[in-house]
Amino acid sequence: MTAPRRTCVLYSRGPHLLRTLKQLRAEAPGDHVTAIVPPGFPTETLEGLADDVREAPRPAGLAGAWRMARGLRAERFDRFVVMFDSPRLRLLAALSGARVRECRTVEGRTIALPRSVWGTLLTAAARSLRGRLRYHYIRCIVRHRRVGR
């Protein structure tokens, strides 16, 4: 018999933590689920949804973020779930060392995140470039297109 997968869910402010934990329980009821929440979070609301609830303060600066990433990597989670798709959370997921990395969105979608740190950085750079190009295109239209003809 195989050992249960170890899943980590990193809390981000939003309305869908409980829904995500319920989805994970329904998908794989035998998994060991660890929820990492901010200090002061009402942990009693996670009873029955998470096997382990840990408080983790926001990392202060780059050194704090690096300590958090090293701690996550040392835990050897099989799956790492973030609640929002942002470059910082993508990078943290990549640094976690988990085999499966995903984002569970507010809408309930699951987005697979890149496995490598380099893939994460390249995706962030491409998104940034695409956003900047779109911004300058719209700015050009607004400034140079005649109105009222």
Model pLDDT, residue 113: 85
Q: For the whole model, what pTM was predicted?
A: 0.75
Q: Would the pLDDT of 1 be above 50?
A: no
For the residues 107-114, what does the mean pLDDT come to? Answer: 84
pLDDT digits (tens, 9 = 90+) for 4-52: 689 999 887 767 888 889 988 888 888 899 998 888 888 888 888 888 8
Strand, coil or helix: 36: strand
Dihedral over Cα of 124, 71, 58, 64: its sign: negative
Is CATH 2.60.40.2890 correct for 6-144? Answer: no
Contacts of 18 (CB under 8 A, 6+ apart): 45, 46, 49
DSSP H/E element including 101? strand 100-104
